[in-house]
Structure 1
Amino acid sequence: MYIPSNIQNHDDQKPELPSERLQLEWVYGCRGRDSRCHLRALQSGEVIYFTACVIVLCHVTRGTQRHFLRHTDCIRCLAVHPDGVRVASGQTAGVDKDGKPMVYIWDSCTLLILHQIGLGFFERGVGCLAFSTADSGSFLCVVDDSNEHVLSVWDTVRGSKIAETKCTNEPVLCVAFNPVDSGNIVTVGKSHVHFWTWSGVTLTKKQGIFGKYKKPRYVQCLLFDRTGDVLTGDSEGQILTWGRSAADTRTLGRGAKDTYQIVRHTRAHDGSVLSLCALRGGSVVSSGGKDRRLVLWSETLSQIKEREIPEQFGAVRSIAEGSGGELLVGTTKNALLSGSLELGFTPIIQGHTDELWGLATHPSQNIFLTCGHDKQLCVWNGNEHTLSWGCVLEDPGLCADFHPSGRVACVGLTTGRWMVLDMLSRCTLSVHSDGNEQLSVVRYSTDGNFLAVGSHDNVIYIYNTGQRDRSRDSSQEERDSSQEEGDSPHLESDGSMNRYESRDREWATYTCVLGYHVFGVWPEGSDGTDINSLARSRGLSLVSVADDFCKVHLFRYPCNKPKAPSHVYSGHGSHVTNVRFTHDDSHLISLGGKDASIFQWRVVGGGSMPRSQSLSSSSSLDAAP
């Protein structure tokens, strides 16, 4: 790297942090594709759900979000205390050095942690958990993801463990306390229903017997109805009612409490029953996987009405009743819907369902475009926090860029094909192919007359669209091939000039992760693959970096000192694949890779941070203890 002639290298100058910070404003999507207990309602009127390492508290009518950001790895489950305020949330161990399975019990009003439990006790992750209700939520039951799926009971006031036992070698998918007797606990999972009697430090198991009914491959959900019976939904499309019967002291021993047997079989859905929800009026709502139906049942499980969820949203994975009686549903395609069986459902939150890489921000509006391995192309309104429109690509999308006019956008695919889309008509204007390897980057020049297409075949293809190239004096193109782990991105000339002669070149945009102006962003000892994306602000004062360690960084620009300090922000649960500033530098968009999450950060000025931010995010220098 050659030092630009207009920069004096002051070795004694200490690199500084930027005065600006990032504040998480909005999270797009929720984790519904593989999480069963990810959606609940709070006393505040907010709906609570999670994605990646973030728990979102969304007020649907006000259109606001708050965020709990204390988890260090991906969240797997949550439960709401009977008071509608306290929350318990559990995470996986993950791959991050700080990621260890644990449960936080915290206050949803203040976002303050009340207890951290299970650190060093839980193995691999926390699979499911539930508060007791008979005694005002004094206890929390947790099942971890160890080989034995250990079942444990905790005191929610002291944060101490009371009892534990090995549950089963098979996956456990759901747990619940009897609402009128905390001494009875039920767990369900692969081919089993277990009824537990808890007394003091002892947990005793009684296995549910299916008898004449077909034993399902999975029992996926459960609830207690008003009579105290247990309802389970399974992979055979059945709702089984397990009624209470007198204890058999010959098999359970003296002092055993009541046990359960199947008293009713209800054929509910084609395919799996994914979720069950008891409504305040006593009726029950179930959701099906294959048929995507929501069905309302009476207390005696007579069908009242049903509604099919549109295919674009997927099946319903989780159901909650809102404060106004509306139904809130989280789907397998990571969407959150609100509505009723009578009037239908509208999306509140939508998201991608697979690994994300492609990101482009509009040149003059708070609009951005994303694409990924799920073959979905989505155009988002950053002001309204909504999906403006989307379409299905023929192949996974890896990169994108807006034309300077904002009227069209180019999207590069994994197959070497790229396409140009009209943003108004939403039609495909043209499709081209360069080689048969994946495309890493597409860029329009600042005046829109050239399009550069960077491929994994180590060739940059430049198309004449009627104007000039991307650098301000129109003689070079910037190449960024950092979209694939193992590549070391670099700046290449077009052959007419060498790097020394181009050291003073002014770049209209800067997304190349190597260069004199940004070499300070690299961590010491890096192998050259740790940074996936870099973006300089339009105002030339900031540079943001997306890394392999689930972090978003904010540096001062230029960042040309080793070990430059940065504000570091957590929340993504996977490698962060892309970052871009919006047209006016008011926001930064970041993409999670395998967690399929999209974060919209507000860029705030120097000085003290807002209290809500100090409670829900951290930097490398001022992280809360």
Structure 2
Amino acid sequence: DDKTLRIWDLSPSHCMLAVRKLKKGGRCCCFSPDGKALAVGLNDGSFLMVNADTLEDLVSFHHRKDVISEIRFSPGAGKYLAVASCDSFVDIYNVMSSKRVGICKGASSYITHMDWDIRGKLLQVNTGAKEQLFFEAPRGKRQTIPSLEVEKIGWASWTSVLGSCCEGIWPIIGEVTDVTASCLTSDSKVLATGDDFGFVKLFRFPAKGKFGKFKRYVAHSTHVTNVRWTHEDSLLVTVGGADTSLMLWTYEMGGHRESRQCDSEESDLDSEEDGGYDSDVTRENEINYTIKALSTNIRPMFGIKPHLQQKEPSLDERQGVVSYFRPPVSRALPQPEKLQTNNVGKKKRPIEDLVLELVFGYRGKDCRNNVHYLNDGADIIYHTASVGILYNVATGSQSFYQEHNDDILCLTVNQHPKFTNLVATGQVGDSADMSATAPSIHVWDAMNKQTLSVLRCYHSKGVCSVSFSATGKLLLSVGLDPEHTITIWKWQEGAKIASRAGHNQRIFVAEFRPDSDTQFVSVGVKHVRFWTLAGRALLSKKGLLSSIEDARMQTMLAVAFGANNLTFTGTISGDVCVWKDHVLVRIVAKAHNGPVFTMYTTLRDGLIVTGGKERPSKEGGAVKLWDQELKRCRAFRLETGQMTDCVRSVCRGKGKILVGTRNAEIIEVGEKNAACNILINGHMDGPVWGLATHPSRDFFLSAAEDGTVRLWDIAEKKMLNKVSLGHAARTVSYSPEGDMVAIGMKNGEFIILLVTSLKIWGKKRDRRSAIQDIRFSPDSRYLAVGTSENAVDFYDLTLGPTLNRVSYCKDIPSFVIQMDFSADSRFLQVSTGSYKRQVYEVPLGKQLMDQTVIDRITWATWTSILGDEVVGIWSRHAEKADVNCACVSHSGISLVTGDDFGMVKLFDFPCPEKFVRTFCLCDCNTKCF
């Protein structure tokens, strides 16, 4: 973008050989096959070819208006030049005649990557809408090629980031990143990529299947905009966006690797030491928990907060008109209602209180062993957010323990008959302040929800594991502090009897032996320890690998127990290690194909249940039931529809196995018939941003970073359906008739689905940043799409699924937060990240400045957190965190808000007075969006 073209020497001298000034900023460049010419695409839609030696112009063209995003000579003699633009076209030029001979049409978004086949007759194109398209050259006629056939085609280059061959280069859906560039070595074995995090990664090619293994290199401080191998693959060249750096990486092939410190963070190649890499284990090990008291704004807001702003003078006051010149207000013309009321009779009664009735979801992504049977299998106990949940299997009814003030991370049930239905739960906290924010463990009765003991501890950041002893009188806890402290409590007295640093690496689980009050085992990153409580001292022994051939200390994830002092530990590689006392005596190789995350010891018969991560198959499953010695097993497949099942919790009852998964599902599996009954569903990854209620039925939709939109039935207390979108979703909205659903995506795309079939009616991507809110107009004619680009676009739905943008709102001071249409569909109010609310005319997009007109608008909905009508929702202590969302009831007299502290609050509407009294309802989660 500095309007220069530079040529560099890649020999050890590393000098710049030539430079010339361009008329416009350069965006892409490419050498001709013979190296004599250089094509350069510019940011105004033009491109030129220059002599590679002198950098003098040879020819130039200007057929497009938007940025030239990619440019490529055909292989061989370089007869053709393909020029891709952000206008969504690829133009093909004959180099010798200097004429455009073909146009590739049909892309629904800007072009990002482009490659020729080795014959120079086929083009592969990637677009901003994540399309992989193919065009015949030179005419540009679109071709349909099955994915299996794509692999058989010989490509002159490969810079594509899409398709089955590149599926593994994309990170987990919740991560805030895009793969911006790729390049394949000439032997088609190694694919280099660059991404928005500044990472350079190497993958084996083809990278099929999700979340492929890689080596990661860190040097760029921001987005990597391009990566290219040199002609002999000896060097990799990468360029940074904002850091404006060009970097050279030496590629050392196997067998020629020098013995020196590596620049990479080896995400998968520590496998030689710990038996394998797994993304779920790595993510769990790296999570940094933050308490609500330290919450910051979930959005990067700026400006003066509403309760600190001076009230804007009216138009008359600004013009100097005093009040006695105004005509008197007639009693026959009262001020119109602020909100249109729907299905409400004449008697309006305010909502006085809210009571938690139903919770969808289960915390499985970073927890384990946290779903248990109670009352001989009639009930189950689990947790999500800061709520402990008792669920009746027969009726689906729930009751709640709500005494925690932050996220619950672990749960265990007391197995001693004297303490039936007693539960212990540990939460996130901060030990620096031993007040309400300190980490705490609650011991409570699951049936009456009475708190029996609260143990405040010095586990900084939180408690990750709890376990009762055999007699039920002692409780073991493990902290998330750097030393991963282990503490033994007499929970009935609230007394700590012993404490000691557990390990300098993460401990995942620590459990008492089911027949002991003094012996327990802890497992974690590359260690297992066997502990003994001696008085007030804790003594430990490391697990000894003995003389078993090829035995190595792996990352241990789970533990179970057998008779005669046997201990079983599940590993990251899928093996199960069998220990006698603290000595390894046997390895059950590949008990699961992936990590063994959870194990359960059945006290009545000694059978062991294991849960792991693996693909469903005829022979195996993610849940297995073993005999007492782990020599024989029966596998159970979970009917989840997922390509890979990842089990985080198992519990065995009478004839049934209770399973909790990373995908936030709780499933009951029959031992005899292997039938699966999904009891609980939830979003697998958050945040959950989008929420919309059906206009006439007790249904609602939710949309989340896990790339799914889910339909929930409130009356039946279950999930009815879900749609996997492939990209993180940010917002969702029903049409006024409830027959269509609009979904706004994090990548700037939006999709409209037909509710009856869940088929796509139309989709469009006119923006490149996240869509923050999306709304149908009350008359169903227009769709308003608000984005992070300080813009609101209007689409006329009567023109059909082509979704033509008819106008947009200008001069929005910051990113859009919420939008609401007026009841007559003529106006739209927009709340922004600068704490300013503005009103625009629909569909012109012209800002309405007349406050008198604004005051007389009746709104179809009210979700704005800004405006004189809702200034009272902002508390005196709103400096650290924001009110994130609001919704006024259909009666128009009650308002509910959610904030960064996880609080749901109830107000009267309107509430124009500052610091009004509120009803605090519950701590629903870390943040309410």
Over 3 Å counting, the alpha-carbon distance change for 1:428 and 1:209 in structure 2 is: same
In structure 2, what residue type is equivalent to 1:262? L
Q: What is the aligned counterpart of 1:264 among 561, 579, 586?
A: 586
Give the structure 2 partner of residue 398 of structure 1: 730
In structure 1, what residue type is equivalent to 2:632? Q
Q: What is the aligned counterpart of 1:157 among 461, 484, 492?
A: 492
Please say if 1:347 is aligned against 2:678. yes
In structure 1, what residue type is equivalent to 2:902? C
In structure 2, what residue type is equivalent to 1:43? N
Give the structure 1 partner of residue 438 of structure 2: 100
Q: Distance in 2 between matches of 1:3 and 1:507?
A: 20
Q: Is the 8 A contact 2:776 2:782 kept in 1?
A: yes
Q: Is the 8 A contact 2:778 2:824 kept in 1?
A: no
CA-to-aligned-CA distance 1:412-471 (integer Å, 9 cap, x gap): 11222211101111100101223222211111122322222222222222223349x942
Query: Please, what TM-score do these two structures have when normalized by structure 2?
Result: 0.56
Q: What is the aligned counterpart of 1:562 among 897, 914, 923?
A: 914
Over 3 Å counting, the alpha-carbon distance change for 1:210 and 1:412 in structure 2 is: same
Judge which range, 517-526 or 308-317, deviates more.
Answer: 308-317
Give the structure 1 partner of residue 633 of structure 2: 304
Query: Please, what TM-score do these two structures have when normalized by structure 1?
Result: 0.82
Give the structure 2 partner of residue 58 of structure 1: 391
Q: CA deviation at 1:158?
A: 1.2
Q: Is the 8 A contact 1:197 1:205 kept in 2?
A: yes
In structure 2, what residue type is equivalent to 1:115? S
Please say if 1:333 is aligned against 2:656. no
Over 3 Å counting, the alpha-carbon distance change for 1:438 and 1:165 in structure 2 is: closer
Judge which range, 199-208 or 224-233, deviates more.
Answer: 224-233
Please say if 1:30 is aligned against 2:352. no
Give the structure 2 partner of residue 186 of structure 1: 521
Judge which range, 527-536 or 195-204, deviates more.
Answer: 527-536
Q: Distance in 2 between matches of 1:94 and 1:74?
A: 12
| Unmatched tracts of structure 1, length 5 or more | 9-16, 245-259, 578-625
Q: Is the 8 A contact 1:2 1:516 kept in 2?
A: no
Q: Is the 8 A contact 1:73 1:94 kept in 2?
A: no
Matches within 5 A, 1:267-306: 267=589, 268-279=591-602, 280-291=604-615, 293-306=622-635
Matches within 5 A, 1:413-562: 413-466=745-798, 470-481=821-832, 486-488=833-835, 490-494=837-841, 495=846, 498-524=850-876, 526=878, 530-562=882-914
Q: % of aligned pairs identical? A: 28
Q: Secondary structure at the match of 1:502?
A: helix
Q: Secondary structure at the match of 1:520?
A: helix
Give the structure 2 partner of residue 222 of structure 1: 559
In structure 1, what residue type is equivalent to 2:837? H
Q: CA deviation at 1:228?
A: 3.6
Matches within 5 A, 1:103-182: 103-119=441-457, 121-133=458-470, 135=471, 137-182=472-517
CA-to-aligned-CA distance 1:478-521 (integer Å, 9 cap, x gap): 2245xxxx553513232356233221211121111112221111
Q: CA deviation at 1:98?
A: 4.0
Q: Distance in 2 between matches of 1:149 and 1:431?
A: 49
Q: What is the aligned counterpart of 2:421 among 61, 85, 88?
A: 85
Q: Distance in 1 between matches of 2:852 and 2:880?
A: 22
Q: Distance in 1 between matches of 2:884 and 2:714?
A: 23
Please say if 1:371 is aligned against 2:703. yes
Q: Distance in 2 between matches of 1:202 and 1:63?
A: 45
Q: Is the 8 A contact 1:440 1:480 kept in 2?
A: no
In structure 1, what residue type is equivalent to 2:829? E
Q: Is the 8 A contact 1:18 1:566 kept in 2?
A: no
Q: Is the 8 A contact 1:191 1:215 kept in 2?
A: no
In structure 1, what residue type is equivalent to 2:664? N
Runs of 4+ residues deviating >3 angstroms: 1-8, 94-98, 525-529
Q: What is the aligned counterpart of 2:542 among 196, 207, 210?
A: 207
CA-to-aligned-CA distance 1:103-161 (integer Å, 9 cap, x gap): 11111121111111134x3322112111011x2x1111112122222222111221211
Please say if 1:67 is aligned against 2:403. no
Q: Is the 8 A contact 1:441 1:479 kept in 2?
A: no
Q: Secondary structure at the match of 1:289?
A: strand
Q: Secondary structure at the match of 2:872?
A: helix
CA-to-aligned-CA distance 1:24-45 (integer Å, 9 cap, x gap): 1111111111111321222373
Larger Rg: 2
In structure 2, what residue type is equivalent to 1:293? A
In structure 2, what residue type is equivalent to 1:534? A
Q: CA deviation at 1:7?
A: 6.9
Give the structure 1 partner of residue 11 of structure 2: none
Q: CA deviation at 1:328?
A: 0.9
Over 3 Å counting, the alpha-carbon distance change for 1:3 and 1:360 in structure 2 is: farther
Q: Distance in 2 between matches of 1:48 and 1:317?
A: 15
Give the structure 1 partner of residue 715 of structure 2: 383
Give me the CA root mean square deviation.
Answer: 2.5
Q: CA deviation at 1:350?
A: 0.9
Q: Secondary structure at the match of 1:562?
A: coil
Over 3 Å counting, the alpha-carbon distance change for 1:70 and 1:459 in structure 2 is: same
Q: Secondary structure at the match of 1:21?
A: coil
Q: Distance in 1 between matches of 2:394 and 2:567?
A: 34
Q: Distance in 1 between matches of 2:436 and 2:788?
A: 34
Q: Distance in 2 between matches of 1:433 and 1:314?
A: 33
Q: Secondary structure at the match of 2:357?
A: strand
Over 3 Å counting, the alpha-carbon distance change for 1:139 and 1:488 in structure 2 is: same
Q: Is the 8 A contact 2:428 2:462 kept in 1?
A: yes
Q: Is the 8 A contact 1:491 1:512 kept in 2?
A: no
Q: CA deviation at 1:307?
A: 2.0
In structure 1, what residue type is equivalent to 2:649? S
Q: Is the 8 A contact 1:367 1:380 kept in 2?
A: yes
Q: Distance in 1 between matches of 2:706 and 2:508?
A: 26
Judge which range, 18-27 or 511-520, deviates more.
Answer: 18-27
Judge which range, 123-132 or 89-98, deviates more.
Answer: 89-98
Over 3 Å counting, the alpha-carbon distance change for 1:52 and 1:224 in structure 2 is: same
Q: Is the 8 A contact 1:277 1:286 kept in 2?
A: yes
Give the structure 2 partner of residue 610 of structure 1: none
Q: Secondary structure at the match of 1:100?
A: coil
Over 3 Å counting, the alpha-carbon distance change for 1:215 and 1:311 in structure 2 is: farther
Q: Distance in 2 between matches of 1:99 and 1:567?
A: 22
CA-to-aligned-CA distance 1:15-63 (integer Å, 9 cap, x gap): xx96521111111111111111321222373211111111111111121
Q: What is the aligned counterpart of 2:652 among 311, 317, 321?
A: 321
